Structure 1
């Protein structure tokens, strides 16, 4: 296993500088996994390539692809209304929240806490309106529970079963909503006011998955190869199409600004990047999953600390290291 090169050196540096206690860095191409390296120790636990990590919002594009499989089958449309699938949603709203709105953070649903004690579906049906659907962009976790409800309405199977089917089809069979996988402990939860175990219990389609580097690299390899095992090439192209470039953003973290497709995020700071056309998603605990179609590269970075950009972890450096790897 090769443990040198710009991307691996970048990952090692995050541990050496004390920004994160552990890091797993993986690279794949459309032909398969090329390298996975692990650095650091946390509480006496040496990081290894096969460890599970809490993916947080890296869950979103995986959930989005699961839902888009129903669109491919003609069972759902991006224009379908959430209220059709979930009649209890949106009482008093005069707008229509569609599947496209849900997957692109334009739903106007006020996001409840990730770790509340009520079931997610109740959180969704009781959520207040933040703005008229489609008029603004505001990052929204609960919207992915809405998308999951629409997939269940279309297919009849529980959403978790649908997602695990996608995982099995793409060599990502380690993906799970269960803590029985023994994921690494998340640091920074007290400062953030997050009851992480409460969040885990919700099995949140927008934030609740656990996975290994191998899971994400295998899935990324399938996307780069456009094999159709996850979603068809035309579907992936639609998911990568930016839908928020001309819409005002409501955000508490202005940088790095990212545009949104359907579930996937797209870097907006392309003038700072050596590669173009990057798509993927970050996660709150420092997790990163990105595809570089021009370079035929997928990169996975897994760690376990909330708000890593505030600690000096700069993914622009990672993106440029991957572009030349």
Structure 2
């Protein structure tokens, strides 16, 4: 197991400089997992390479992969309306929200607090209307509850069962919506009022998964291989195609902005990056999961602090380090 190298040095630096208390870095290729290292301790708990972490929005591309399996089976299309699966949705809307809109943050659904107490399916039917579907881009967690509902409707199986089947098929056996795997505590000091326990009780298909570095690396390996164990190559290519480049954004988030495909995000600051065709997703808790196909690399960084970019954790540095590793 490597103890040096640009990516490992980057991960160690985040802990040594006090930006995050713990960090687990993993790298894989088409050949499989190449390296996993852990740094730091939190409240006396030493980080280990097999620790579970709250993944937050790294959940989104995994949910999208699950839903796209129903598209491959001919049970859904990207143009299928959400109202077909959730008849109570959009009663006051004059537009049509499709699966493509949901997976690319173009639904116009007003996003409630992620730790709200209302059951997600009920929140979906009660959701307000921010803009006409497809006309703008605004990040929306609740849209992924809509996508999960469509997968259930099409597949006639609970969404979680479908996602766990994807996990089993790709060797990501530790992925779970259950908080009983002793995950690292998420530090929320920078976001007063966020109730992480309430959020996870929602089992949110946009933010609720727990997992290990091995889980994400195993799934990433199958994607790099284009093996078809997650989704077929044509589906995977479609998911990586940016769908928001020419659509105006509504955002209060800091740069760098990211383009969105279907569940996957692509960095918009391409001129600052050594690699091309990068795709993956960050999570609010500092988690990162990215594929660099030209370099045959998947990288995972897991930690447990909200808003890490505000603390100096720079994903561009990580991605350039991985490209050089």
**TM-score, L = length of structure 2:** 0.99
Task: Tell me the distance in 2 between the aligned counterparts of 1:254 and 1:58.
Answer: 18
Matching residue of 1:26 = 26
Matching residue of 1:234 = 234
What are structure 2's unaligned runs of at least 5 residues?
A: none
- Please, what is the CA RMSD of the aligned residues? 0.7
Task: Tell me the distance in 1 between the aligned counterparts of 2:320 and 2:10.
Answer: 10
SS of the residue 2:197 aligns to: helix
Could you report, residue by residue, the CA deviation over 1:282-323 in whole angstroms, capped at 9, with x for unpaired residues? 000000000000000000000000000000000100000000
Task: Tell me the distance in 2 between the aligned counterparts of 1:223 and 1:10.
Answer: 25
Task: Tell me the distance in 1 between the aligned counterparts of 2:206 and 2:36.
Answer: 26
Give 1:120-139 correspondences, 5 Å limit: 120-139=120-139
Deviation of 1:112 after TM superposition, in Å, equals 0.6
The answer to whether the Cα contact below 8 Å between 1:57 and 1:284 also exists between their aligned partners in 2 is yes
Task: Tell me the distance in 2 between the aligned counterparts of 1:193 and 1:278.
Answer: 34
SS of the residue 1:300 aligns to: strand
Matching residue of 2:206 = 206
Task: Tell me the distance in 1 between the aligned counterparts of 2:183 and 2:124.
Answer: 27
The answer to whether the Cα contact below 8 Å between 2:54 and 2:209 also exists between their aligned partners in 1 is yes
SS of the residue 2:107 aligns to: coil
Deviation of 1:190 after TM superposition, in Å, equals 6.4
Could you report, residue by residue, the CA deviation over 1:116-143 in whole angstroms, capped at 9, with x for unpaired residues? 1111101111000000000000000000
Deviation of 1:191 after TM superposition, in Å, equals 2.9
Q: Is 2:166 aligned against 1:166?
A: yes
> How many residue pairs get matched?
325
What are structure 1's unaligned runs of at least 5 residues?
A: none
**TM-score, L = length of structure 1:** 0.99
Matching residue of 2:6 = 6
Q: Is 2:312 aligned against 1:312?
A: yes
Matching residue of 1:85 = 85
Q: Which portions of structure 1, spanning 4 or more consecutive aligned residues, are displaced by more than 6 angstroms?
A: none
Give 1:53-72 correspondences, 5 Å limit: 53-72=53-72
Matching residue of 2:113 = 113
SS of the residue 2:24 aligns to: strand
SS of the residue 2:236 aligns to: helix
Matching residue of 2:186 = 186
